[in-house]
Structure 1
Amino acid sequence: MFCGDFSLIQFPSASIGDRGGTMQGAPEKLAYSIEEAVAATSISKSSLYARIAKGEIVASKVGRRTVIPARSLRKLVDG
């Protein structure tokens, strides 16, 4: 059982596209699935799809999957 000091552990940041606080060597996330984007932005799935349809959020298909570039979500969140 470990009884050491946890104050030195760095946990990954929850920010979209944020490089700070991530583990060394872990690549920056370039795109998000619909489910990940909903969780990251706290907007509903239907609102996300509506914003994609209006062109407010860029999305593309990779195979059967819809992905949203991190920069598009950052733009939405930052205003």
Structure 2
Amino acid sequence: MINKLTIDDVPENLKSVVLAIGIDAFRSLIKCAGGTSIYLPSERCITKPVRDRVIRESFCGDYKKMARRFGISVVRVRRIVGEKS
């Protein structure tokens, strides 16, 4: 029956999810995790490792420039650059 599900069948509080990911992905999500609680991290939390990787890959020796570019402190840039990949 899940393959017959349309956006009109979805409760109002979940329609924004369907609009964001599409009905097929929503059906898959229901099959995979229906009935469970799912925690979705914030965008900032989930992209932090990406930001750190980009900083390490594009670091050219100017800590202040990188700090301004990414909106973080010089100390944080130094820590990121010094961390192991």
Q: Same fold (TM over 0.5)?
A: no
Q: Which has the higher contact order (CA 8 A, sep 6+)?
A: 1
Select the structure of larger CA radius of gyration: 2
TM category (shorter chain) comes to under 0.3
Tell me which protein shows more strand as a share of its residues. 1
Tell me which protein shows more helix as a share of its residues. 2
TM-score relative to the length of structure 2: 0.26
